[in-house]
Amino acid sequence: MSETLEVLLDRGRIEGRVRELAKMISEDYQGRVPLMVGILKGAVIFLSDLARALDIPVALDFMAVSSYGQSSETSGVVRILKDLDENIEGRDVIVVEDIVDTGLTLRYLCDALKARNPASLRVCVLLDKPSRRLVEVDVHYRGFEIPDAFVVGYGLDYQERYRSLPHVGRLKL
Ligand code: 5GP
């Protein structure tokens, strides 16, 4: 069993793009205190860098949903494993996710959050694999478009490994 990792996005490119996204969000939410909702566990690294690069105050909350489980193929079944601590009614909510692939996870999450009547709801993803989309998702802030490859690092895992890498790489199994 040998896995190889080919770097797709190095630390410098990610840092630069995170700063750009933070600038856009800071401008768009000037004078407001949005609630950033990180989707566990993949978005944790991205969210913590993004939040610290903002020059507006934000609140943070987290949700966990089931997506791939131990396998690297999507099941299409989305379940909330951990819900928000905060009531989001009337809040400006930004969902922060590591990657949008088929779109099933974000579609489900956005529908569930919209039903709670936030003042606004936007989605910020680090990575987008548009060629894999099965359902449309309105992504407002997007870090990078990437090809259809299984990637790890900067929060993303393969069987709980690789999350702490500072870069994003394509994993070849
Ligand atoms: P979707 O519901 O859009 O198909 O998938 C979203 C979730 O699938 C992501 O939050 C992530 O957990 C997982 N995922 C999709 N593509 C990849 C990938 O290339 N690498 C890793 N590690 N996870 C992925």
Looking at the predicted structure, is the pLDDT value of residue 29 above 70? yes
pLDDT score recorded for residue 69: 52
Catalytic residue, candidates 101, 111, 148, 157: 101
Q: Are 141 and 122 in contact (CB under 8 A)?
A: yes
- For residue 127, what are the β-bridge partners? 99, 144
Over residues 141-164, the pLDDT tens digits come to 999 999 999 999 999 999 999 999
Mean pLDDT of 15-37: 98
How far apart, in whole angstroms, are the C-alpha atoms of residue 41 and residue 155? 7
Looking at the predicted structure, is the pLDDT value of residue 53 above 60? yes
Active site residue 101: yes
Atom of ligand 1 nearest to the CA of 137: 3
Q: Are 59 and 34 in contact (CB under 8 A)?
A: yes
pLDDT score recorded for residue 73: 58
Looking at the predicted structure, is the pLDDT value of residue 70 above 60? no
The DSSP letter of residue 131 is G
How far apart, in whole angstroms, are the C-alpha atoms of residue 2 and residue 34? 44
Report CA(148)–ligand 1 centroid distance (Å): 11
Of the listed ranges 8-12, 67-71, 92-96, the one predicted with least confidence: 67-71
Q: What residues are in contact with ligand 1 under a 6 Å CB criterion?
A: 42, 67-68, 74, 97-105, 150-152, 156-158
How confident is the prediction for the chain on average, in pLDDT? 93
Cβ of 37: how many Cβ atoms within 10 Å? 27
